[in-house]
Amino acid sequence: MDARVLQVAFAKGVGDVALKKYLHYIHDHCVEQESYLSDEVFRCIGFSVDMLNSIKNTEERAKSVFEKLCLKDVEIITETSNDYPQYLKRMLQNKCPPLLFARGNKRLLSELSVGFCGSRKVSDKGMAIATNCTKQLVEKNVTIISGYAAGTDLTVHKAALENEGSTIFVLSEGILQARIKKQIAPLLNDKNHLFISQFLPELTWNAGNAMKRNSTIIGLSRAMILVESRLEGGTFAAGEEALRVNCPLFVIDFSKPDTTAEANPYFISKGGIPIRGKNGIPNMKKVFSSITSEQRLNDNASMEQLQIDM
């Protein structure tokens, strides 16, 4: 996909709905790249005159940003592309992001994955349990997905890499804004990670986009593990969203929850599946059973590839 798609995405009045309509039109009608910005295409889609004028005015910006993406080895994956994760489409349906900006190993998007959510101020106990859950998952060739924030997110990303597993960093900002954090920098190689963002490349962080990012994490994951949640905030919203879209939600069941995990009992009462254990070692059998059930397997993943010994 080239800079012309960015030119449309940057235009005023072109939100996700209009962008999806545009992408599906050029895909369904096999429009050649040189005709992506033709008047005929926009007339058939029904774009307004103001939108067309705005598209024309974004040409230089789109070319500049596209060059930056190329220099950073970032690929643009459209919703209509064969590279777009089909499981994300099935989970989020018409709310899936029209564009994904990806840097790293795109093949991880088709691997069996488990997502994590939890407090930025995760307790020491929560951090230890999250690390152990991650270790058990990567031993079974499961990719770890989280949001690259401080606390729980960075804990599981780092644990996956340290245990020779793979991880997907789902960003809440534009991919050109992302920086590789020192905690994980020495652990990265060409195959073990992927950075993705659904936001325009130069967009800075904001709370609303962090919430939208959580939906993408859930949509990519065969199950979510909620480590610690307060009674409000991003983790609480992620837990509720997982339950709403019927993504299996596993919740760490502390015998004595800290204040950082005060909402964990709430999620268990609402249908979250408790993860218990002994001596601080979480029992992950129910997680493995859920993610390997036939109805939730990815079309591109076989049991032989997963190499999971149940």
Question: Stretch 234-243: mean pLDDT, rounded?
Answer: 95
CA nearest to 287, candidates 85, 126, 136:
136
Token digits of residue 213: 């990012």
Question: Which of 82-86, 129-133, 163-167, 305-309 has the least mean pLDDT?
Answer: 305-309
pLDDT value of position 292:
86
pTM for the predicted model, two decimal places:
0.92
Tell me: do 173 and 300 sit in the same domain: yes
In total, how many domains does the chain have?
Answer: 2
On whether residue 153 sits in a domain, the answer given is: yes
CATH number of the domain where residue 143 is located: 3.40.50.450
Question: Which of 188-192, 207-211, 295-299 has the least mean pLDDT?
Answer: 295-299
207-220 vs 234-244: helix crossing angle, rounded to 10? 40
Secondary structure class of 94 (helix, strand, coil): helix
pLDDT value of position 305:
40
pLDDT value of position 2:
80
pLDDT digits (tens, 9 = 90+) for 25-39: 999 999 998 899 999
Tell me: do 145 and 291 sit in the same domain: yes
Average pLDDT in the chain: 92
Give the amino acid at 130: A
pLDDT digits (tens, 9 = 90+) for 59-85: 999 999 999 999 999 999 999 999 999
Task: Tell me how many degrees the CA angle 302-304-309 measures, rounded to the nearest 5.
Answer: 115
Say yes or no to pLDDT of 161 above 90.
Answer: yes
Radius of gyration for the alpha carbons in the chain, expressed in angstroms and rounded: 20
Give bridge partners of residue 104 from the DSSP assignment. 194
310 vs 80: which has the higher pLDDT: 80
On whether residue 160 sits in a domain, the answer given is: yes
Tell me: do 179 and 279 sit in the same domain: yes
On whether residue 176 sits in a domain, the answer given is: yes
On whether residue 91 sits in a domain, the answer given is: no
Please name the residues in contact with 82: beta carbons below 8 A apart, sequence gap of 6 or more: none
Please name the residues in contact with 40: beta carbons below 8 A apart, sequence gap of 6 or more: none
Question: Stretch 51-57: mean pLDDT, rounded?
Answer: 94
